[in-house]
Amino acid sequence: MAAISVVFASFIGVPSREAGMRIALLGGTGDIGEGLALRFGRDTDHEILIGSRDPEKARDAVEEYEAVLEDHGVEANIKGFANEMAADRADIVVLSVPPYYAGDTVEAVADNLDEDTILVTPAVGMKGDEDGMHYHPPGVGSVTELVAQRAPEAVPIVGAYHNLAAGKLADLSVEFDLDTLVVADDEDAKRTVISLSNEIDGLRTLDVGPLANAAEIEAVTPLVINIARYNDELDDVGAKWL
């Protein structure tokens, strides 16, 4: 995979392990959910819960992900549920949904979240035209801040995985050499997500401060998409910060 940095280049992450967690991927049958499920399933020992509005669709996705992981010599612990049930069982809940569904998805599972559940959002508001993709945040400033506004007050919110290409996440033949940027107001939640994310081979996680800085991270995503669009050799580009 091509990588960009501020210098636009590549890296090696520092692994660290959080033991025995349950990670729910709401909307986990979509592109980003599939990619995260396969990377977490291959590179960590955590239980992965695939959530969907249709639990049968979630179970079908689990069978597909298990087959991919078996082809890579991995027997992962993955289960499929309705979004609400997946959220209720999880230590970390990732909103693997498009930005226009993020707020509604949070409200749909709000009764299944509490102060012991970390809610992670990778969604980015964008719109495209003939020139490329452009950052299009909601009125509150960023999708991450929108999620924080719609979630129960006690639930810690973390923004992460915004700038990772879903296609490359799901392609386990691709070796990562990339960074992901993390924001949160809750420092304990941030440390947990950083530790978890560093378990993914070739992924380094960088602290970018509180939720107020989420817009700057999200705005990088249309930039890297446009770089990939106009440079054939940089397919599914990602960011590395030096």
Q: Who contacts 187 (Cβ-Cβ below 8 Å, separation ≥6)?
A: none
3-239, CATH topology level: Rossmann fold (3.40.50)
* Contact of 1 with 203, CB cutoff 8 Å: no
b/e string for 199-228 if b means 16 or more Cβ within 10 A?
Answer: bbbbbbbeebeebebbbebbbbbbbbbbbb
Q: How many CA atoms are closer than 13 Å to the CA of 147, on its beta-carbon side?
A: 37
Give the tens place of pLDDT for each residue, 182-236: 999 999 999 999 999 999 999 999 999 999 999 999 999 999 999 988 998 777 6
Q: Tell me how crowded residue 188 is: count the other CB atoms within 10 A of its CB.
A: 10
Give the tens place of pLDDT for each residue, 64-104: 999 999 999 999 999 999 999 999 999 999 999 999 999 99
Q: What does pTM read for this prediction?
A: 0.90
Give the distance, in angstroms, between the CA of residue 8 and the centroid of all CA atoms in the same chain: 21
Whole-angstrom Cα distance, residue 240 to residue 6?
A: 7
Whole-angstrom Cα distance, residue 104 to residue 200?
A: 29
φ and ψ at residue 13, rounded to 5 degrees: -85, 165
* Contact of 20 with 48, CB cutoff 8 Å: no
* pLDDT band at residue 12 using 50, 70 and 90 as cut-offs: very low
Task: Say yes or no to pLDDT of 166 above 60.
Answer: yes
Q: Considering Cα of 101, then 103, then 108, then 109, what sign does the dihedral take?
A: positive
Boundaries of every domain in the chain: 3-239
* Angle between helix 143-150 and 99-109 (nearest 10): 20
Whole-angstrom Cα distance, residue 138 to residue 125?
A: 7
Give the tens place of pLDDT for each residue, 102-150: 999 999 999 999 999 999 999 999 999 999 999 999 999 999 999 999 9
